[in-house]
């Protein structure tokens, strides 16, 4: 109690110095509070973004590995395409096999094919080459020589005399006709309309991120029913409305037709710089369920399909182990596993920089404030040498004197923190809102 009384007396007696110390402490507290609030907000933003955006692993074709085995020259083009055709594609069963992993939260896939065209011209791995057709025909001709008929012969000569010889000549004629044939990859989607079959609503990333938006009707509800959602440009061009039926056919077999019910119409909100086309890239894209593609392939295996799987990883640490697991399960050497981790990190990079800056700022602020307080207290002790000497003369221990100086600083700190809290309360009450 004696030390406490002496501390209060000393604070009141040295008001100017203690007010200065109090202001410094208040500034330290405010700076630390604001810095920690910013850092905490930035940290929450990063966590919320990571929670809303999963780490997605996808299997894509490793074109660089295939290029290494390509041969150069015009004559090697056919061989190169045959090499490409011989690469085994992964199937739905492969995707399900890869999806059964403890490192995944789940998976989905896009199962695509194309319908209703066998004359589509597009950039593809195909080429025309010249073929010679040789047709050989043989004609025969004969010629007779010798054996005169005896006319004009002299006396004693017979009426006929000499030998006759016949020669047969065979003439061979070769007619060469040239024509052009097209050799192309068996993996090409050759239809006018791309039919995209999604395995679930999670797979419809173009719709969830706002690139595509259903503006009329609704999304398909049954992933195995012959239902579809079409682009608004295609709907306007063909005067199609929600509830209408459209008929598509197999580009490889015109006798195979399929009837779909239009449940919705979507618009493409992506920005494209292609001024050479009046339609968007998705104008001929028709959305349906993956179960429908399964039914089409079961009915006619001549359809060419593409599968694009996406695997949702548990966390960042699962990436390498999942890649190793897919290799062990037999992933073809021409395919590679990629993730969107770098994209996610780039999206939160600026917020991470804010966290780093606020942490650095807080450390610097605390260090400078500690130095200032240390200097002020050293000056305070030097100015109170006489007072310290008196206390020591009357028998006050060094420990009690140290406790008195600490208690003075503590009391000033508490008072200024209470003042700061009061200012914050009044400010929040005036503005009717407060950031916690």
DSSP string, 147-204: ----TT--TT--SS-S--EEEEEEEEEEEEEEEEEEEE-TT----SEEEEEESSGGG-
Instruction: Give the dihedral of Cα atoms 259, 260, 265, 267; nearest 10 deg.
Output: -80
Q: Give the span between the Cα atoms of 196 and 204, in whole angstroms.
A: 10
Q: Is pLDDT at 73 greater than 50 in this prediction?
A: yes
- Give the separation between CA 201 and CA 219, rounded to whole angstroms: 9
> Exposed (0-12), middle (13-18) or buried (19+): which is 393, by Cβ within 10 Å?
exposed
242-271 in b/e form (b: 16+ CB < 10 A) is eeeebebbbbeeeebebebebbbbbbbeee
| pLDDT tier for residue 220 given thresholds of 50, 70 and 90 | very high
How long is the chain? 436
CA angle 66, 68, 71 (to 5 degrees): 95
Say which residues have a Cβ less than 8 Å from residue 80's Cβ, sequence separation at least 6.
70, 71
Work out the angle at residue 305's Cα, subtended by the Cα atoms of residues 87 and 104, and round it to the nearest 5 degrees.
80
Question: What does the alpha-carbon distance between residue 354 and residue 367 come to, in Å, rounded to a whole number?
Answer: 20
Give the tokens for residue 375: 């200097």
Which of 139-148, 223-232, 275-284, 329-338 comes out lowest in average pLDDT?
139-148
Tokens representing 213 are 């938006």
pTM above 0.75? Answer: no
Res. 423: pLDDT tops 90: no
Residue 150: its pLDDT value, please? 44
CB 167 within 8 A of CB 143: yes
Instruction: Tell me how far CA of residue 56 lies from CA of 165, 166, 201, 208, 249, in angstroms.
Output: 92, 89, 15, 15, 34
- Answer whether 7's CB lies under 8 Å from 415's CB: no
The answer to whether 203 and 270 are in contact (CB under 8 A) is no
Query: What pLDDT, in 10s, does the model give residues 177-211?
Result: 554 544 445 455 567 889 999 999 989 989 988 89
Tokens of 216: 């009329």
pLDDT confidence tier of residue 156, bands split at 50, 70 and 90: very low
How far apart CA 431 and CA 320 sit, in angstroms, is: 51
Q: What is the pLDDT of residues 111-150, one digit of tens each?
A: 888 885 333 233 234 444 455 555 565 555 555 555 544 4
Most confident of 199-208, 297-306, 396-405: 199-208
Neighbours of 163 (CB within 10 A): 8
Residue 184 near residue 124, CB atoms below 8 Å: yes
- Of 14, 56, 32, nearest to 314 (Cα)? 56
What tokens were used for 1? 């109690």
Q: What is the mean pLDDT of the chain?
A: 77
Helix (H, G, I), strand (E, B) or coil at 39: helix
């Amino acid at each position: 109690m004696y030390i406490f009384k002496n501390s209060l007396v000393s604070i009141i007696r040295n008001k100017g110095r203690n007010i200065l110390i109090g202001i410094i402490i208040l500034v330290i507290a405010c700076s630390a509070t604001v810095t920690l609030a910013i850092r905490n907000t930035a940290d929450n933003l990063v966590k919320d973004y990571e929670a809303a955006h999963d780490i997605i692993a996808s299997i894509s074709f490793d074109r660089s590995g295939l290029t290494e085995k390509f041969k150069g020259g015009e004559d090697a083009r056919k061989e190169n395409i045959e090499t490409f055709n011989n690469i085994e594609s992964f199937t739905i069963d492969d995707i399900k096999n890869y999806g059964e992993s403890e490192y995944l939260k789940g998976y989905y896939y896009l199962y695509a094919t194309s319908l209703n065209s066998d004359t589509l011209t597009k950039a593809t791995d195909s080429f025309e080459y010249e073929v010679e057709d040789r047709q050989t025909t043989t004609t025969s001709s004969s010629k007779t020589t010798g054996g005169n008929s005896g006319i004009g012969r002299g006396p004693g000569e017979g009426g006929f005399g000499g030998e006759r010889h016949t020669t047969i000549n065979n003439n061979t004629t070769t007619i060469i006709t040239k024509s052009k044939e097209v050799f192309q990859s068996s993996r090409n989607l050759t239809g006018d309309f791309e039919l995209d079959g999604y395995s679930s609503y999670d797979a419809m990333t173009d719709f969830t991120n706002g690139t595509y938006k259903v503006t009329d009707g609704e999304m398909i509800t049954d992933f195995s029913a012959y239902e579809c959602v079409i682009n608004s440009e295609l709907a306007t061009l063909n005067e199609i409305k929600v509830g209408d039926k459209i008929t598509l056919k197999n580009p490889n077999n015109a006798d195979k037709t399929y009837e779909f019910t239009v449940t919705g119409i979507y618009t493409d909100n992506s920005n494209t710089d292609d001024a050479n086309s009046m339609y968007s890239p998705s104008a001929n894209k028709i959305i349906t369920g993956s179960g429908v593609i399964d039914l089409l392939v079961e009915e006619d295996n001549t359809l060419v399909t593409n599968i694009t799987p996406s695997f949702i990883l548990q966390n960042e640490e699962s990436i390498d182990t999942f890649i190793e697991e897919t290799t062990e399960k037999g992933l073809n050497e021409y395919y590679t596993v990629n993730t969107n981790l770098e994209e996610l990190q780039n999206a939160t990079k600026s917020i991470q920089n804010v966290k780093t800056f606020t942490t650095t700022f807080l450390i610097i602020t605390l260090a400078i404030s500690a130095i200032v307080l240390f200097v002020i207290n050293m000056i305070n002790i030097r100015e109170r040498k006489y007072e310290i000497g008196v206390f020591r003369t009357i028998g006050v221990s060094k420990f009690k004197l140290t406790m008195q100086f600490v208690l003075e600083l503590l009391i000033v700190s508490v008072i200024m923190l209470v003042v700061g809290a009061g200012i914050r309360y009044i400010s929040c009450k005036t503005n009717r809102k407060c950031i916690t």
